[in-house]
Amino acid sequence: MSPAMTLQSVNSRTEDDHFKSVYQKGVKHLCDSGITKVPNKYVLPISDRALFKDGLELNQNIASNPTIQLPIIDFSQLQGPNRSHVLKSLAKACEKYGFFQIINHELPDNVIKNMIKVAKQFFELPFEERAKLMSNELGTPVRYGTSFNQNKDGVFCWRDFLKLMCNPDVLHLWPSSPMEFRKEVLTYSKQTKQLFMMAMEAVLESLGLEVSPRNEPEDNILEEFHDGSQMMVINCYPACPEPDLTLGMPPHSDYGFLTLLLQDEVKGLQIQHEGNWFTVDPLPNSFVVNVGDHLEIFSNGRYKSVLHRVLVNSSTSRVSVASLHSLPLQSIVRPWANLVNEENPRKYKDTDFASFLEYISSCEPKSKNFLESRKLT
């Protein structure tokens, strides 16, 4: 080994040692320290970077990830004579894209603006204030963390997050700072829960399931969602000095039935469609909604839980709020019996939230590996 290579190795180890205690405090803390380069812990292998395709690393100026216009579901049309047409569009979106955008959802503008405002204010708090909520335990109902799963991630991603379970008995654990945080987030969580219930009713109906109150209780799954789980993930993706070397989040799918995503004006979300990555061009005052693993299992593979990832940029920080919804945590998710027959045999094992936590606690999350573990061979 040459002296130059030896010196380079020493410098690399010195850098890693220097940042080891820092990167565990999160990317926001790292950026506030004034870094001008991405530390090695965040540098992805070339093949995992966004600017990589067909064995070649692409020039940043090449539009390698064109934008995509997701199917649009006008919620105001669900309540009128066009409901059947909207349901067909919804079914097609869930089958072909696994994503759609909701417009005319009737969430008040001030609720949405205030949610984004307090989210940004939280990440601007001094690190010592945010650190009170920092935890590596995945089952902690309220926790501040970084990367994706910092216990297992070989390479960290360029993200800090605040995860909040929304059941009433943990609301007192939510951050009390900034001053209006609990009030605004609680209002937003209730509004998104209502929106989820309306969206889920439409999704179930699009699958052919009647959700009338006249149904027998065991046949009316919509009732279970009233007491279902809701977890909000408030994400911060700080401006990155070398965004082509890393990702805000790696390719993954969500565990629940539906995720409702609120984004600020900065692009970053990408979905995989027909083998290629596309940047989602968000509509103002809309929600991006995606099918989760549980809905793919429930639909016996008819509706698709699709891979998505997050890019970062060098000029602007980005904030998003994901609201993940499913059945109660102790409930068993299995393919709906009416979608299982000789022509379409059962494709998935039973699962629950505990199985998901156990799985992601044991390995580095990659792609749709949890869903793959639920498939029947």
DSSP string, 96-117: HTSEEEEES----HHHHHHHHH
The residue range of the domain holding 149 is 62-374
Distance CA 266, CA 314 (A): 12
Convert the pLDDT of each residue in 115-141 to its tens digit.
999 999 999 999 999 999 998 787 899
Q: What is the pLDDT of residue 59?
A: 44
Residue 309 lies in a domain: yes
Residue 180 lies in a domain: yes
Residue 9 lies in a domain: no
If you average pLDDT over residues 6-12, what whole number do you get? 45
Convert the pLDDT of each residue in 165-208 to its tens digit.
999 999 999 999 999 999 999 999 999 999 999 999 999 999 99
Higher pLDDT, 252 or 221: 252
Residue 122 lies in a domain: yes
Distance CA 253, CA 370 (A): 9
CA dihedral 208, 210, 216, 222 (to 10 degrees): 100
pLDDT at 287 over 90: yes
Convert the pLDDT of each residue in 204-224 to its tens digit.
999 998 765 544 444 578 889
Residue 282 lies in a domain: yes
Q: How many domains are there within the chain? A: 1
CATH code, domain carrying 232: 2.60.120.330
Q: What is the pLDDT of residue 337?
A: 92
Residue 21 lies in a domain: no
Per cent of the chain over pLDDT 70 is 85
Q: What is the pLDDT of residue 126?
A: 95
Distance CA 25, CA 127 (A): 8
pLDDT at 40 over 50: yes
pLDDT at 15 over 70: no
Mean pLDDT score of the chain:
86
Residue 224 lies in a domain: yes
Residue 164 lies in a domain: yes
Convert the pLDDT of each residue in 324-374 to its tens digit.
999 998 899 999 999 999 999 999 999 987 777 777 666 555 555 778 888
Q: Does the bond joining 178 to the residue before it have cis omega, within 30 degrees of 0? A: yes
> Which residues lie closer than 8 Å to 301 by C-beta, 6 or more apart?
347, 348
Return the DSSP state at 289.
E
> Which residues lie closer than 8 Å to 139 by C-beta, 6 or more apart?
357
Q: What is the pLDDT of residue 79?
A: 84
